[in-house]
Amino acid sequence: MKLILAGNWKNYPESPEEAINLLSALARRAKIFKKLSTFIIPPAVYLGSAAKKIKSFAYLGSQDVFFSGDSTVTGAVTADMLRNLGAKAVIIGHSERRRLGETNQVVSEKVKTALKSGLIPIVCVGEEVHDSEGNYFELLNEQIRSSLEGVRRKDDAHKIIVAYEPVWAIGRRAKEAMQPTELSQMVIYIKKVLTEVFGRDSAGRMPILYGGSVEPSNAKDLVTSTGIKGFLVGHASLEAKSFGEIAQALLK
């Protein structure tokens, strides 16, 4: 299986012209992105342009998906709409959305909605603080179980990508990211929880990504013998050059 590289643009760039320029710059590096499973995940307003531009070298992803029992809701972008536009994946439960009030329960509903429409959920989990007592293990355990509640063990679990994103490591510089030794431990722990919930077979097929200040300078160390299957990259995905360098690091 190819390693995964997902670029989460968040709420950038601010103009369609900049978005097009970034997409064009990424397209010039198509060759390297094709060697990975690359996902470009722009803000919703640029999904249409991105869908056309990246088709030959990357998959399109959305940063969120609407979930509700109501069928008519102003402002909603549904899973079927995303799918019909050509999206392949959707980030669910990013810490920046959890901070706005998205609960584990909402995350689990969104995960099921995405699966039903054939979108790959990229489910974000991660602790706010990495305390010395190790309380984060329990928090992560609970977050993984509740965020994936109701996911069918045999049919659906293996379609999910888990993105481990320690909140304290997001949006910083490479040297403040999680260190590889610690990341290895966290990956083992996440695998253990997933195995308990979904069984060895399904859990073994669920890729675990790392996100949190991945930059060209730390990418290689973070992927070497830590057990991760790729990255969810924030700020460094907004420059084609650095995103391309991270792709290179994954391929080494």
Contact set with ligand PGA (CB under 6 A): 8, 165, 170-171, 211-214, 232-236
Does residue 109 carry a catalytic annotation? no
- Choose among 228, 213, 216, 230: nearest CA to 170: 213
Minimum distance of ligand PGA from residue 246's CB (angstroms): 10
Minimum distance of ligand PGA from residue 61's CB (angstroms): 12
Minimum distance of ligand PGA from residue 233's CB (angstroms): 5
Which residue number, 64 or 156, has a Cβ lying nearer to ligand PGA? 64
Minimum distance of ligand PGA from residue 193's CB (angstroms): 21
Minimum distance of ligand PGA from residue 235's CB (angstroms): 4
Give alpha helix (H) positions in the chain: 16-27, 30-34, 47-54, 79-85, 95-98, 104-117, 136-147, 180-204, 216-223, 240-251
Interatomic CA distance for residues 46 and 28, integer angstroms: 19
Contact partners, residue 218, CB within 8 Å, separation at least 6? 174, 175, 177
CA–CA distance from 62 to each of 39, 87, 89, 141 (Å)? 10, 7, 6, 26
- Choose among 169, 188, 171, 186: nearest CA to 128: 169
The one catalytic residue in 96, 102, 109, 165 is: 165
- Choose among 56, 116, 108, 66: nearest CA to 86: 56
The one catalytic residue in 94, 96, 102, 235 is: 94
Say if residues 161 and 123 touch (Cβ distance below 8 Å): yes
3-state secondary structure of 38: strand
Say if residues 4 and 246 touch (Cβ distance below 8 Å): no
Which residue number, 164 or 198, has a Cβ lying nearer to ligand PGA? 164
Does residue 165 carry a catalytic annotation? yes
**Closest CB to ligand PGA: residue number:** 234
Contact partners, residue 73, CB within 8 Å, separation at least 6? 66
The residues annotated as belonging to the active site are 94, 165
